[in-house]
Structure 1
Amino acid sequence: MDTPAELGNFLRSRRARLQPADVGLVSYGGQRRVPGLRREELAQLAGVSVAYYTRLEQGQSGNASDGVLDALARALRLTPDEHAHLRNLARPGRAARRPATRPATARAATRQLIAAMGAVPALVLDARYDVLAWNPLGHALLAGHLDAGAPERPAERPNTQRLLFLDPHVRELYPDWEFEARRAVSSLRLAAGEHPDDRQLAELIGELTMKSPEFAALWSRHPVRGCTSGVKVFHHPLVGPLELAFQMLRLPDSGGQGVLAFSAEPDSASDAGLRLLAGSVATAPSASPAAGASPADRISGPAPARGGGRPAR
């Protein structure tokens, strides 16, 4: 990722969303050449020289102090996540770096943990949102049309961001897909700032930018937000509507891995639907169906043959 360029783009996007009146400055009218605050206005608010701020926005100053970055964050009214992102972009040498190593794997203890969570959909994700492991209910909830063993093969690992934007089956899971897309891009922006040297993460962003106009449009707005908890609304092809709380539990000393788990309000319709899905998983055939099968086929198996012909589709 071109971190200096990203820093400039991020600062310009945040200047553009503020008007002088928003920050207590007097606007004397007339035609403004740029949307939002001018560089000199932001520099005044942050207490730095215009020349210094210009160098920073152009990526020519890689040693900005905490005081300067904190002042800019206050002037731009950044959220805590945006403030952390600004620090990562302004000083990429201090951001977490991912060395070039063999493909990541989930620890045995982590796999054991999610396997024990039989009634809870759970996945192990790395920092770029590759699925390193999932339990049967997590697989059935999010990607039942994919081979359950795909996370074990690095070249075929599902990526939750790629699935959301490029897989029509996953897209149909979300009644409010646009909201999920915004949330996903916000999280990916934060990850990109935390791991500026991750080549595979940069390749993923490039792929999504090329293949999904919706991703490209959202990415250009520079949203930044860490989405570690909240609620996701699904329309699952097997059990219908589900409203599930989610938590992303970061694992220490794991290079950014985390466990993503879902739960339903006890005795709710979503709780009943989740139990129904768990029951379907428990009775599913042990053999892995073809990767292209629909979610219903993957759990229920193909329909019996009609009149000696091919199995009904």
Structure 2
Amino acid sequence: MTGDRNTADIGDFLRSRRARIQPEEVGLPTHGRRRVPGLRREEVAQLAGVSVDYYIRLEQGRGSGGTSRTKSGGVSDAVLDAVARVLRLDETEHAYLRTLARPRDRRTAVRPAAPRVRRGVQLLLDGMERSPAFIVNQRMEVLAWNALGDALNGFSRMAPEERCVPRQVFLDPAGRELYPEWHAVAAQTVAHLRLSAGLHADDPELCALVGELSVKSEDFRRLWADHEVAECARGVKKIHHPVTGLLTLPYETLSLPGDPDLTIVVYTPEPGSETAERLALLGSWTSAVPEATERA
């Protein structure tokens, strides 16, 4: 089943990238009626310097055949590099194509146990007193957080299944109020989830999450069909908090070398900025609430 999905993914991905490029952009004539938008398969093959038959097999998920192979039987770097050049793939898209073209052998793959957040990592989060921080896995599920991250997002008040960024964005009606730039957040979330799905095609829970979102959200289905892939390594996110109002939050992500499926997300507002001051107010307000409760 995983192999069938991987085959469909590489075909859909390459077709979507062909459709983005017009023949005149790459010096090809545009005479005659064209039944498909963008480049035809034979045009991609010509520009990449491979046979039409080989490119068709690659797009159909059968690219391990033929002569342009690695010793392990996968598609060669030269072919993938040439196709990426013709289709003008960026670094993330290029890496994603490699993943789709060279699926791991799931017959012998041993799925590792779900990663747990080590105590030392939790202490690292807790030490970031001025920055909201949390940890997500490959499914963008939130596994741990610090006090300010909880004050900002309310993770401790959520059921475990609700601590999932894609579910919050697409299935929680409050998501559109939380993110003033919802459409940008939604597109970025899907692009990152598709990249993760390519890297973890043997993760049944990730497949189930994609299925759930596809069934329950028309917006997710539309964005998923675009086959955009992106790594959310850094950026700026705007959040409307019910206590502090609008917060403009630059963020950075950190990978854990010992736990490759875990990522630390840290919001890094500029010191002295209005957002930094509002976060400090939020932190002091939330820390005072338990004390007031105890006095009562």
What's the TM-score, normalizing by structure 2?
Answer: 0.89
Moved more, 230-239 or 70-79: 230-239
State the identity %: 47
2:124 maps to 1:113:
yes
Cα deviation for residue 204 of structure 1 reads: 0.7
Q: Give the aligned partner of residue 16 of structure 1.
A: 19
- Aligned pairs, how many? 281
2:226 maps to 1:224:
no
CA contact (8 A) 1:120 1:137 kept: yes
Q: Give the secondary-structure state (helix, strand or coil) at the position aligned to 1:282.
A: helix
Q: Give the aligned partner of residue 103 of structure 2.
A: 92
2:253 maps to 1:244:
no
Cα deviation for residue 50 of structure 1 reads: 0.4
Cα deviation for residue 98 of structure 1 reads: 8.1
Q: Give the secondary-structure state (helix, strand or coil) at the position aligned to 1:247.
A: strand
Distance 1:111 1:184, change over 3 A: same
Q: Deviations over 1:85-118 (max 9, x none)?
A: 00000001189x9844544311111111001112
2:149 maps to 1:138:
yes
2:83 maps to 1:80:
no
Distance in 1 between residues matched to 2:271 and 2:129, nearest whole Å: 16
CA contact (8 A) 1:42 1:75 kept: yes
Cα deviation for residue 61 of structure 1 reads: 2.2
Moved more, 66-75 or 125-134: 125-134
Cα deviation for residue 171 of structure 1 reads: 2.9
Q: Give the aligned partner of residue 286 of structure 2.
A: 281
Q: Give the secondary-structure state (helix, strand or coil) at the position aligned to 2:7.
A: helix
Amino acid in the other structure paired with 1:52: Y
Cα deviation for residue 169 of structure 1 reads: 2.6
Distance 1:169 1:140, change over 3 A: farther
Cα deviation for residue 125 of structure 1 reads: 0.9
Q: For 1:52, which of 51, 54, 79 is the aligned residue?
A: 54
Q: For 1:255, which of 252, 255, 260 is the aligned residue?
A: 260
Q: For 2:156, which of 127, 147, 153 is the aligned residue?
A: 147
Moved more, 277-286 or 56-65: 277-286
CA contact (8 A) 1:98 1:195 kept: no
Matches within 5 A, 1:147-296: 147-148=156-157, 150=159, 156=161, 158-285=163-290
Q: Deviations over 1:187-224 (max 9, x none)?
A: 11111111111111111111111111101100000011
Amino acid in the other structure paired with 1:233: K
Distance 1:37 1:257, change over 3 A: same
Distance 1:78 1:210, change over 3 A: same
Q: Give the secondary-structure state (helix, strand or coil) at the position aligned to 1:168.
A: coil
What's the TM-score, normalizing by structure 1?
Answer: 0.85
Q: Where does structure 1 lack aligned partners over 5 or more consecutive residues?
A: 287-299, 305-313
Q: Give the aligned partner of residue 309 of structure 1.
A: none
Distance 1:3 1:167, change over 3 A: same
CA contact (8 A) 2:244 2:282 kept: yes
Distance in 1 between residues matched to 2:182 and 2:158, nearest whole Å: 26
CA RMSD of aligned residues (A): 2.1
Distance in 2 between residues matched to 1:167 and 1:267, nearest whole Å: 33
Q: Give the secondary-structure state (helix, strand or coil) at the position aligned to 1:264.
A: coil
Q: Give the secondary-structure state (helix, strand or coil) at the position aligned to 2:178.
A: coil
Q: Give the aligned partner of residue 6 of structure 1.
A: 9
CA contact (8 A) 1:104 1:132 kept: no
Distance in 1 between residues matched to 2:116 and 2:253, nearest whole Å: 18
Distance in 2 between residues matched to 1:139 and 1:53, nearest whole Å: 49
Q: Deviations over 1:144-196 (max 9, x none)?
A: 2x534855xxxx46111111111123331111100100111111111111111
Q: Where does structure 2 lack aligned partners over 5 or more consecutive residues?
A: 65-73
Amino acid in the other structure paired with 1:65: S
CA contact (8 A) 1:11 1:57 kept: yes
**Could you list the runs of 4 or more consecutive aligned residues of structure 1 that deviate by over 4 angstroms after TM superposition?**
148-151
Q: Give the secondary-structure state (helix, strand or coil) at the position aligned to 2:174.
A: helix
Distance 1:255 1:150, change over 3 A: farther
Q: Give the secondary-structure state (helix, strand or coil) at the position aligned to 2:289.
A: coil
Q: Give the secondary-structure state (helix, strand or coil) at the position aligned to 1:92.
A: coil
